[in-house]
Chain A
Amino acid sequence: MELLLARLFDAVTNGAVYALIALALVLIFKATTLINFAQGELAMLGAFIVLVIGVEQFGGGRLALWVALFLGMIITAVLAAGIERVLIRPFDPADHLPLVIITLGLFLGINALAGIVWRFDPRAFPAMFPEGNAITFGNATLSWYTLFTLATVVIVLAGLTLLLNRTKIGLAFRAVSSNLESSELVGIRVGPTLQFGWALAAAVGTLAATIFVADPVRQLEPTIMLRILIFAAAAAALGGLDSLWGALAGGMAVGFVQSVVVQYSPIPNELSLAAATVVLLIVLTVKPSGFFGTAQVERV
């Protein structure tokens, strides 16, 4: 019983981070109908920027880290906006192959760059949330870290929902993701609107990666997001790829598969990543629009 509870708590902790990265993937997918392979690496870069600003410049206090996180989100947002302008916009949005190759190139490039600048050794990342456990139940503990992470996910989700549904730029963004040509015909400047999506996704990604490595049990290294991106992609696909709340549900589901289902089944722990990929495959085969996504509706 305690073991089950401990694993459920694990599932929630991991699921919250997957959900955050999945959110970033969903934002880019809505903008470009592509999975941005470089999303995780941009997020990792963001976490390093937060570390450099927060610890090396501002001394590593809790407040300093939050200020650094805010700055890091802005810096990566600007960077992503630049990437969209220079590398993505010149290509036909309907032609996916060049865009996939570009995001793969970005993935490798950013990873290598981070390795050159910061080396591949893990670095400790100071805590951003109160330490210790909020709930203790025998051996099963739910840390403050997990609770704050969950709260962050819900706040980010609510904020994004408001932004997309209640603001003019949000309306433009949803319009562009629904019908590119008609968006131009109602006067939306499509390029800058998609750029806004890239910037937003990068900011959310930086938040996700920073919170992920701020877990006392983790350290920051350039390869930190490789595994997470696979889990997050599975989470996003489960949620329907274009649904924000689906990303949260998908994140939790993947966390559950990884921390509970895999632990209770004969699947070796080392195969949990593969298990996530299998989940991804099954979803894409059985229900391509995910559990919360809008099925393609088209009249001809």
Chain B
Amino acid sequence: MSTVLDVKGLTGGYGPIQVLRGLDFNVDDGEVVVILGANGAGKTTTLRALSGMIQRSGEATFDGNDLISMKPADIVRLGIAHVPQGRGTFPELSVEDNLQVGAYVRKDAEIEKDMAQWYEVYPVLYNRREQLAGSLSGGEQQMLAVSRALMSRPKLLLLDEPSLGLAPIIVADLFERLSTINAETGMTMLVVEQNAQLALGIGNRGYVLESGSIAISGPADELINDDAIRKAYLGV
């Protein structure tokens, strides 16, 4: 498999506060890679650095394109979709408009078809398509956020703590769905999660972040069985 996302010595943060202290990791085509770590380790910051939402330096290439020098709007056009923490839906827009705006960078004629597809996957979104997104429940918002990101037909999906604040049954369903999408379309995913058990369950490999750098890395099944990691990060 070929590497699509290659990150070397990535640093970044907010103003004078440096959060990432030289990250090295890579994601291969078609892989699901999980980033684990405690609160404040820099998981969210890593994703924000990749999609151009913060000041960053070092190396990060996607399909050979240098992400560091690009603006968010251009990074999206490379085929990277980012579902931010807290869903990032457009609360004052209808559900349907949220999906439409997800396809903002597309110019092909299959936008309606994709929308119909996600409505089929999540009938509740279809039933509420005229409602404002802000009126949806947390679980419905997450369905909308993921569908919205997939409307751009990304090559790489960045997911920031999709399980946050959701009921366990909804989280399980969401991860199952992500796993299916990965299996069926080969879409590459980089998932930041606190719920390590679930995320590693659908992941190929994992990285553990500690104070802004990679502490441990390995295949998902090794990480899930590693005693030290189980104690420190999985809470079991």
A270 and B77 alpha carbons, distance in the complex (Å): 58
Contacts A172-B101, A184-B73, A185-B72; A297 near B82 (Cβ below 8 A): no
B198 to chain A minimum Cβ distance, whole angstroms, is: 22
**Residues 163-191 of A contacting B (Cβ, < 8 Å):** 168, 171-172, 174-175, 177-179, 181-190
The answer to whether B93 touches A174 (Cβ under 8 A) is: yes
Q: Which residues of B contact A182 (CB under 8 A)?
A: 84, 88-90
**Residues 261-282 of A contacting B (Cβ, < 8 Å):** none
In the complex, which of the residues A168, A175, A185, A300 contacts B93, with contact meaning CB atoms closer than 8 Å?
A175
**Residues 49-84 of B contacting A (Cβ, < 8 Å):** 51-53, 72-73, 76-77, 81-82, 84
A257 to chain B minimum Cβ distance, whole angstroms, is: 29
Task: Indicate whether A298 reaches chain B with its CB closer than 8 angstroms.
Answer: yes
B44 to chain A minimum Cβ distance, whole angstroms, is: 12
A240 to chain B minimum Cβ distance, whole angstroms, is: 12
The answer to whether B92 touches A177 (Cβ under 8 A) is: yes
Task: Indicate whether A227 reaches chain B with its CB closer than 8 angstroms.
Answer: no
A27 to chain B minimum Cβ distance, whole angstroms, is: 15
Give the segment of B133-141, B169-177, B183-191 that binds chain A: B133-141
The answer to whether A175 touches B72 (Cβ under 8 A) is: no
In the complex, which of the residues B76, B89, B100, B132 contacts A179, with contact meaning CB atoms closer than 8 Å?
B89
A168 and B135 alpha carbons, distance in the complex (Å): 24
A185 and B52 alpha carbons, distance in the complex (Å): 9
The answer to whether A181 touches B88 (Cβ under 8 A) is: yes
Q: Which residues of A contact B89 (CB under 8 A)?
A: 179, 182
State how many residues of chain B have any CB contact under 8 Å with chain A. Answer: 30
A174 and B72 alpha carbons, distance in the complex (Å): 19
Q: Can you name the residue of chain B whose Cβ is closest to the Cβ of A176?
A: B90
Q: Can you name the residue of chain B whose Cβ is closest to the Cβ of A295?
A: B134
A171 to chain B minimum Cβ distance, whole angstroms, is: 6
State how many residues of chain A have any CB contact under 8 Å with chain B. Answer: 24
B 161-173 to A, binary, CB cutoff 8 A, 1 in contact else 0: 0000000000000
Q: Which residues of B contact A174 (CB under 8 A)?
A: 90, 92-93, 97
Q: Can you name the residue of chain A whose Cβ is closest to the Cβ of B132?
A: A297
A184 and B77 alpha carbons, distance in the complex (Å): 11
The answer to whether B152 touches A187 (Cβ under 8 A) is: yes
Contacts A186-B101, A187-B105; A297 near B92 (Cβ below 8 A): yes
Contacts A182-B90, A185-B84, A185-B88; A297 near B76 (Cβ below 8 A): no
The answer to whether B72 touches A184 (Cβ under 8 A) is: yes
A171 and B101 alpha carbons, distance in the complex (Å): 7
Task: Indicate whether B206 reaches chain A with its CB closer than 8 angstroms.
Answer: no
The answer to whether A186 touches B93 (Cβ under 8 A) is: no
In the complex, which of the residues A171, A183, A299 contacts B141, with contact meaning CB atoms closer than 8 Å?
A299
Task: Indicate whether A294 reaches chain B with its CB closer than 8 angstroms.
Answer: yes
In the complex, which of the residues B76, B92, B104 contacts A172, with contact meaning CB atoms closer than 8 Å?
B104
Contacts A186-B76, A186-B152, A189-B73; A299 near B101 (Cβ below 8 A): no
In the complex, which of the residues B77, B91, B138 contacts A297, with contact meaning CB atoms closer than 8 Å?
B91
Closest 7 CB pairs of A and B: A297-B134, A187-B76, A187-B105, A178-B90, A178-B92, A184-B72, A182-B88
Interface set of A (CB-CB < 8 Å, partner B)? 168, 171-172, 174-175, 177-179, 181-190, 242, 294, 297-300
Query: What are 19 residue pairs bridging A and B, where the CB atoms are less than 8 Å apart in the complex?
Result: A168-B104, A172-B101, A175-B104, A177-B92, A178-B93, A183-B90, A183-B101, A185-B51, A185-B53, A186-B102, A187-B72, A187-B77, A188-B104, A297-B91, A297-B134, A297-B135, A298-B134, A299-B141, A300-B86
Interface set of B (CB-CB < 8 Å, partner A)? 51-53, 72-73, 76-77, 81-82, 84, 86, 88-93, 97, 100-102, 104-105, 132, 134-135, 138, 141, 148, 152
